[in-house]
Amino acid sequence: MTTSDRYIAAIEISSSKIIGAVGRISSDGELNVIALEQEQQKGEEAVRYGIIHNLEETSMRIARIIANLERKPELGHRKIKGAFVGLSGRSVKSIPTNVSINLARDTEITTEILNRLKGDALRTAIDPSLEIVDAVPRTYRVGNTDTISPKGIVGNSISATFDLIVCRPELKRNITRTIVEKLNLRIEGFIVTALAAAHLILTPDEKRLGCMLVDMGAETTTVTIHKNGCMRYFATIPMGGRNITRDITSLNMLEEKAEETKITSGNAIAPDIPSTLNINGIKHSDISNLIVARAEEIVANVVEQIEYAGLKENDLPGGIIVIGGGSRLNGMIDLLAAQSNLPVRRGQVPAYVVINDTHYTSADIIQVVSLLYAGATLSDRVCLEEPPSDELPTMGRPNEPGEIPVERPRGGDKKPSRFISGLKKRLSNLWTAPTDDSDELD
């Protein structure tokens, strides 16, 4: 570890769980996920379809997550003062819009012109019940030239199609009330979880060829479609794995038992020969029929998004990449492949992101790791506060009464004055950069 390492934190809030993570970005850009903590949502419905409904309960859960993270030795007594927060839920979707700017003859397209174009897109009038979160460029046209990389091209006009990412205002407002007002933590940036996941998981070739990223959650299933290197479509389907669980409860089974039964013996594909077994007096065939019917409905809605995007299955040779807890139902991947006639693979955290905590699988944490990666690569924010120098272990002097002895490193003593002055200088350099109070991630 060097003094140029940067620490960031992320929080992902969903209907099934809240998970927090801390990452360390080295000077060469490598992301190490050094600490993870999560709290399961157990039917209290504090969060529904991505929107926080019980601010007090949710703030208590996040507070426990932060406290447990700060206790981990990997943080080195650092305190979490801010975090990137994921946005997901039923109301998150995209709306296409077109904007254009007339320019003087032979104008070179610059970053300033592109920012002006994006600003015009962000000011597009939309349904007042929705709020614009971001504007994602799809294609540009400079003069008569279509491109996805317009910077540096010369022309007398520029136009673009943007996908406006929108959500209900309550989504961001309730997160802010929970994290900022109740916990006094900074929100370093709101990040759309689906976009962050695509940024981390999808390969450039998959985006160019055409592919679909599907996140099957507890109450929603998010679909993003990518083609020619950019996002073409974004939608959230208000169905997920919990719908299957609640269908099973109609057989007079408690939700906890229904979830366990779904995981241990459920299958999204109907068996060739119906089972004659009973589970606590309930026919396994009845359970199977409910699971299969709901799984087929979810998959049918996912596949239908290709047509809604104005595409066909053969436009997506990159296939379907699936993440989320709902996709772990036995047979769900096979059902999706059969219904779509496309190759399907599970999304994984790439090898260049190192996860130090072995208690979690890639599938469990892929969304929050995506937020960390987006925060690491798309911003220069620092989320953790360095410990005061008087809390750090020192060397080269006798221990005070009650002080825990510190083993001296091999290779001889170092002068304490030089060590302390160097440490103070490094800490001072780390915190002299100006801060930006904006909540949005560029």
The reported pLDDT for the residue numbered 180 is 97
Q: Does pLDDT of 396 surpass 60?
A: no
Q: Which of 81-85, 166-170, 351-355 has the lowest mean pLDDT?
A: 351-355
Task: Quote the CA–CA distance of 148 and 138 in Å, as a whole number.
Answer: 7
For 222, left (φ over 0), alpha (ψ -120 to 50), or beta? beta
Q: Is 34 in contact with 238 (CB distance < 8 Å)?
A: no
- Which residues is 320 bridged to in the sheet? 212, 344
Q: What is the mean pLDDT of residues 84-99?
A: 96
Q: Does pLDDT of 30 surpass 50?
A: yes
Q: Residue 283: helix, strand or coil by DSSP? A: strand
For 142, left (φ over 0), alpha (ψ -120 to 50), or beta? beta
Q: What is the mean pLDDT of residues 429-442?
A: 41
Classify strands 320-323 and 211-216 as parallel, antiparallel or unpaired.
parallel
Angle at alpha carbon of residue 217, lines to 63 and 212, rounded to 5°: 125
The backbone torsions φ and ψ at residue 232, rounded to the nearest 5 degrees and listed phi first, read: -110, -15
Task: Quote the CA–CA distance of 43 and 303 in Å, as a whole number.
Answer: 30
The reported pLDDT for the residue numbered 386 is 86
Q: CB-based contacts of 114: which residues, under 8 Å, 6+ apart? A: 150, 151
- Which residues is 101 bridged to in the sheet? 158
Instruction: Write out pLDDT tens, residues 405-435.
Output: 444 444 444 444 444 444 444 434 434 444 4
Instruction: Write out pLDDT tens, residues 209-248.
Output: 999 999 999 999 999 999 999 999 999 999 999 999 999 9
Task: Quote the CA–CA distance of 376 and 34 in Å, as a whole number.
Answer: 14
Task: Quote the CA–CA distance of 295 and 26 in Å, as a whole number.
Answer: 43
Classify strands 154-167 and 131-142 as parallel, antiparallel or unpaired.
antiparallel
Q: Is 180 in contact with 187 (CB distance < 8 Å)?
A: yes
Q: Does pLDDT of 290 surpass 60?
A: yes
Report, in angstroms and rounded to the nearest whole number, the Rg of the chain calculated over CA atoms.
Answer: 25
Hey, how many other C-beta atoms are within 10 angstroms of the C-beta on 376?
Answer: 21
Q: What percent of the chain has pLDDT over 90?
A: 75
CA dihedral 331, 336, 342, 347 (to 10 degrees): -80
Q: Which of 36-45, 107-116, 387-396, 406-415 has the lowest mean pLDDT?
A: 406-415
The reported pLDDT for the residue numbered 438 is 40
Which domains are seen in the chain, by residue range? 6-89+170-196+351-385 (3.30.420.40), 93-167 (3.30.1490.110), 204-346 (3.30.420.40)
Q: Does pLDDT of 391 surpass 80?
A: no
Nearest of 357, 395, 387, 379 to residue 441 by alpha carbon: 379
Task: Quote the CA–CA distance of 353 and 424 in Å, as a whole number.
Answer: 31
Burial label, 71 (beta-carbon count in 10 A; 0-12, 13-18, 19+): exposed
Q: Which helix (H) or strand (E) holds 340?
A: helix 332-340
Q: Does pLDDT of 8 surpass 70?
A: yes
Hey, how many other C-beta atoms are within 10 angstroms of the C-beta on 422?
Answer: 12
